[in-house]
Amino acid sequence: MKPSTLRRKSRALKAAAAAALVFPTACHAATSGNFSILSMNVAGLPAFLNGNDVPGDKATNHKLIGQKFNEYGYDVIHVQEDFNYHAHLYSTNTHPHRTPTSGGVPLGSGLNTLSRHPYLDFRRIKWNTCSNQDSADCLTPKGFTFMRVALATDSSSSSTVYADFYNLHADAGVSSADLVARQDNVRQLAEYITRWSAGNAVVVYGDFNSRYSRGGDTGIRTLLAAGMRDPWVELRRDGRVPAPGEEDACGNPVAGDARCETVDKVFYRSGPLVGLKAREFAYDGLRFLQADGKSVLSDHNPVRVELSWEGSRKLRQSALFGGEGEGAAWFSDAVGLERVDKPRVAVVRFRGASRLDGVGLTLRSGEVFKHGGSGGNEVALTLGEAEYWTEAELCKGEKSGKVRNFYIRAATSAGRTLAAGTRTRDCATFRAPSGWHIVGFVGQDGDEMDQLAFVYAPM
Ligand SMILES: *[C@@H]1O[C@H](CO)[C@@H](O)[C@H](O)[C@H]1NC(C)=O
């Protein structure tokens, strides 16, 4: 074989192996599964600024951390303080989906994600408030990151399971200015989740710099009040949140099953499309030791949680298609559909001309879903008594440097179609799983349809 053929073959083999690893069932999307997450502050400030009381050379330590991420098979890892030794961390690590660094000190946020699952729509958001009172939190643009992770998908992307993942590094310190800044950080994050993750399951983990047992750290309590769950509280504390002043701070490292509290926290919630449940909580500090088998690699205990997910029996969705829609708004009909028993579509409506301007539908029960702008021409299809919308095709293209959807075509169980916009050469077809039909949309819109996916319900 010519070397080029060999290379191609080995690339194809690697891709197949990676796909098999991530999605064990290639044809049908799995309806349940497990995944592990790790949150680790890797102490990557330049050594001359902060030695983090960790012995050894930070470059060597980061290489070892990257390697241990592979060794223990974590699915989605969030790191904080991944600043000036980032290249070393990634040099030994083999997770196939990783965020590009935003830079060392003082340019970057230190937040990165290393994942075995593909993700979409990655973005970095800076905190509105910081305080330099106890530590130099305003030195770097700290904040949080967002990404939509595909936990499972079938070979045609007709069925995909997403969860929204947030990484963060909140303001440090215990002065009153720090407490105020940190409360504002968590409030900003919670508001963002409400808006940007409507209809989706959420996992948020990172360095909150917060402890329930510290009286002023009220931010994390508001997350619980808003319906988030903390696996440490659920699995280590029998569901009881520590009272302010009930100090039990962790050493480093501690035993995996220790009950003590750390500032690195995990929160999660289910959505109408997928349920999440934490099965195991562990401190993994003993896995992250230097070559001497004693010294830690970071001044933070890494936190691991094993979660399981289960697809709803009433709603599913396709993969998202189109552009990432910088500046657009997120919408999800799953929120409204969750309240409808056996939804049936009465009328499908599209708007389009040179591109796709809008999509919508009316359910027989009266709900109206409508997305996008008012440009283009409207076309509509009224479904018959025994007719279901079962297939959709989307085509995307680029306009003013932004990718968005240009075309949509719907096909029904009776063989009728409805189309709007202009076809491109970059298209995908989504088919409702056997026995299911299309009843709504999720995606990002503005004046036009940036990104789109279809929500299915059983017939
Ligand atoms: C998830 O993990 C649990 C415990 O190890 C196991 O019993 C279960 O079968 C797993 N579920 C899937 C879908 O792999």
Write out the chain's pLDDT in tens, 459 residues.
Answer: 333 433 444 444 444 444 444 444 345 778 999 999 999 999 999 887 777 778 889 999 999 999 999 999 999 999 999 999 999 999 999 999 999 999 998 889 999 999 999 999 999 999 999 888 888 888 888 999 999 999 999 988 899 999 999 999 999 999 999 999 999 999 999 999 999 999 999 999 999 999 999 989 999 999 999 999 999 999 999 999 999 998 899 999 999 999 999 999 999 999 999 999 999 999 999 999 999 999 999 999 999 999 999 999 999 999 999 998 777 899 999 999 999 999 999 999 999 999 999 999 999 999 999 999 999 999 999 999 999 999 999 999 999 999 999 999 999 999 999 999 999 999 999 999 999 999 999 999 999 999 999 999 999
Give nearest CA residue, ligand 1 atom 3. Answer: 34
Per-residue confidence (pLDDT) for residue 397, from 0 to 100: 97
Is the Cα torsion angle 223, 225, 228, 232 positive or negative in sign? Answer: positive
| Residue 120 token pair | 């979409």
Task: Give yes or no for a contact between 145 and 345, defined as CB atoms under 8 angstroms apart.
Answer: no
Query: From CA 121, how far away is CA 354, in angstroms rounded?
Result: 25
CA 150 to ligand 1 center in whole angstroms: 18
Burial of 156 (0-12, 13-18, 19+ CB in 10 A): middle
Give nearest CA residue, ligand 1 atom 12. Answer: 33
CA 30 to ligand 1 center in whole angstroms: 12
| Residue 221 token pair | 């309590």
Task: Give yes or no for a contact between 338 and 314, defined as CB atoms under 8 angstroms apart.
Answer: yes
Give nearest CA residue, ligand 1 atom 1. Answer: 34
For ligand 1, what atom is nearest to the CA of residue 33? 13
Pocket of ligand 1 (CB under 6 A): 32-34, 308
Query: From CA 99, how far away is CA 89, in angstroms rounded?
Result: 12
Residue of 25, 308, 310 to mutate, ligand 1, most atoms within 8 A of C-beta: 308
CA 34 to ligand 1 center in whole angstroms: 6
Per-residue confidence (pLDDT) for residue 27, from 0 to 100: 57
Give nearest CA residue, ligand 1 atom 13. Answer: 33
For ligand 1, what atom is nearest to the CA of residue 306? 2
Q: Tell me which amino acid residue 20 is.
A: A
For ligand 1, what atom is nearest to the CA of residue 308? 1
pTM across the whole model: 0.92
CA 152 to ligand 1 center in whole angstroms: 15
Give nearest CA residue, ligand 1 atom 2. Answer: 34
CA geometry: angle 428, 425, 449, nearest 5 deg: 60
Burial of 366 (0-12, 13-18, 19+ CB in 10 A): exposed
| Residue 138 token pair | 């305003």
Task: Give yes or no for a contact between 395 and 407, defined as CB atoms under 8 angstroms apart.
Answer: yes
Q: Residues with Cβ < 8 Å from 83, sequence gap 6 or more? A: 44, 45, 46, 103, 104, 105, 108, 110, 140
Residue of 32, 34, 274 to mutate, ligand 1, most atoms within 8 A of C-beta: 34
For ligand 1, what atom is nearest to the CA of residue 32? 13
